[in-house]
Amino acid sequence: MAAPAPSKNTRKALGRLSLPERTFVADALRAETVGGVLLLVAAIAALIWANTLSGSYESVSDFHIGPSALGLDLSIEHWAADGLLAVFFFVAGIELKRELVAGDLRDPKAAVLPVVAALCGMAVPALVYFLVNITGGGSLDGWAVPTATDIAFALAVLAVIGTSLPSSLRAFLLTLAVVDDLFAILIIAIFFTSDINFAALAGAVVGLGVFWLLLRKGVRGWYVYVPLALVIWGLMYNSGIHATIAGVAMGLMLRCTRRDDEEHSPGEHIEHLVRPFSAGLAVPLFALFSAGVAVSGSALTDVFTRPETLGVVLGLVVGKAVGIFGGTWLTARFTRASLSEELAWPDVFAVASLAGIGFTVSLLIGELAFTEDPLLTDEIKAAVLMGSLIAAVLSSVLLKIRNAKYRAMCADEERDDDLDGIPDIYEEDKPEYHLRMAEIYEKKAAEHRRLAEVAGGASDGSSRPA
Write the DSSP string, 258-315.
Answer: --TT-SS-HHHHHHHHHHHHIIIIIHHHHHHHHS-----HHHHHHHHHSHHHHHHHHI
Q: Measure the N-to-C terminal CA separation of the chain; round to a whole number of Å.
A: 64
How far apart CA 166 and CA 17 sit, in angstroms, is 10
Tens-digit pLDDT string for the chain (466 aa): 444 444 444 455 555 555 555 555 555 555 566 777 788 888 889 889 988 887 888 899 889 998 888 888 888 988 988 888 899 889 888 888 887 887 767 777 777 888 888 899 999 999 999 999 999 998 999 999 999 888 777 777 776 665 566 666 777 777 787 788 778 888 888 888 767 889 999 999 999 999 999 999 888 888 899 999 999 999 999 998 888 889 989 999 999 888 878 888 888 889 888 888 888 888 889 888 888 877 766 667 788 889 999 999 999 999 999 999 999 898 888 877 666 666 778 888 988 998 898 888 888 888 888 888 888 888 898 899 899 999 989 988 888 777 766 666 666 666 777 666 677 666 767 777 777 777 777 888 887 887 777 877 666 555 555 4
Q: Assign 454 to helix, strand or coil.
A: helix
Largest CA distance in the chain: 109
* ∠ CA 426-427-428, rounded to 5°: 105
Q: Assign 126 to helix, strand or coil.
A: helix
Q: Assign 373 to helix, strand or coil.
A: coil
Give pLDDT, residue 207.
95
* ∠ CA 296-301-305, rounded to 5°: 150
How far apart CA 328 and CA 63 sit, in angstroms, is 46
Q: Assign 13 to helix, strand or coil.
A: strand
Report yes or no: 145 and 366 within 8 Å, Cβ to Cβ. Answer: yes
How far apart CA 276 and CA 294 sit, in angstroms, is 30
Report yes or no: 391 and 147 within 8 Å, Cβ to Cβ. Answer: no
Q: Assign 2 to helix, strand or coil.
A: coil
Q: Assign 429 to helix, strand or coil.
A: coil
Q: Which of 323, 310, 307, 305 shows the shortest CA–CA distance to 125?
A: 323
Give pLDDT, residue 425.
65
| Amino acid identity for residue 55 in this structure | G
pLDDT tens by residue, 220-240? 888 899 999 999 999 999 998
pTM: 0.74
Report yes or no: 29 and 272 within 8 Å, Cβ to Cβ. Answer: no
Number of neighbouring beta carbons within 10 Å of residue 68: 9
262 phi/psi in degrees, rounded to 5 = -115, 135
Give how far Cα 174 sits from Cα of 23, 29, 180, Å.
13, 8, 10
